[in-house]
Amino acid sequence: MAGSGEMSMSQFRDVVKQYITVTDNVKHLQKALKEKRGTHTQLKDLILAFMNENEIDVINTPHGKFKRRVSYVKGTVSHKEIKERLATIIQNEEKCNQLIAQLYSAEKKERTTLSLSQPESQN
């Protein structure tokens, strides 16, 4: 069912019903996955805490190795920080604002989406 082509109203209704069923299944799976990810993160934090406290870099298991690595990454720079840093270099607020406007102006691209809103419960 890649394209619509010549679709009858009955076929269209079937497609909509199937879409709703798949959407509901995806929501349930996402909820379960979110719970599993939470548990996964908690367990990972416990393992890392133990490895840090005991200065262990590698743990061998039948399923593979746990390796503890420490790395350093640069943080993100906010719009305000960019403006402040440019202002110290350029020392002309108007040019600084023009440059920032140019940097943050982006072409808008059209995107079409489909969403399914749940009906309000009737109590």
Same domain, residue pair 55 and 92: no
The answer to whether the beta carbons of residues 68 and 57 sit under 8 Å apart is yes
Domain count, the chain: 2
pTM of the model: 0.54
Rounded Cα distance, 98 and 93, in Å: 9
Cα 86 to its chain centre, rounded Å, is: 30
Q: What is the pLDDT of residues 49-108, one digit of tens each?
A: 999 999 999 998 888 888 988 888 888 888 888 888 888 888 888 888 888 888 878 777
Question: Cα–Cα–Cα angle for 31, 32, 34, nearest 5°?
Answer: 65
Sequence-ordered list of residues with C-beta below 8 angstroms from that of 77, at least 6 positions apart, any chain: 85
Boundaries of domain holding 36: 9-71
Closest CA relative to residue 114, chosen from 8, 15, 7: 15
Q: Between β-strands 64-67 and 58-61, what pairing exists: parallel, antiparallel or unpaired?
A: antiparallel
Position with higher pLDDT, 58 vs 122: 58
Shared domain for 64 and 22, answered yes or no, is yes
Last residue of a domain, one of 29, 50, 71: 71
Higher-pLDDT residue of 85, 26: 26
The predicted pLDDT at position 72 comes to 85
Residue 33: inside a domain: yes
Residue 66 CB neighbour total at 10 angstroms: 15
| Whether residue 91 is found in the same domain as residue 55 | no
Angle at 108 between CA 76 and CA 112, to 5 degrees: 105
Lowest-confidence segment of 32-36, 51-55, 112-116 by average pLDDT? 112-116
CA–CA distance, 102 with 91 (Å, rounded to integer): 17
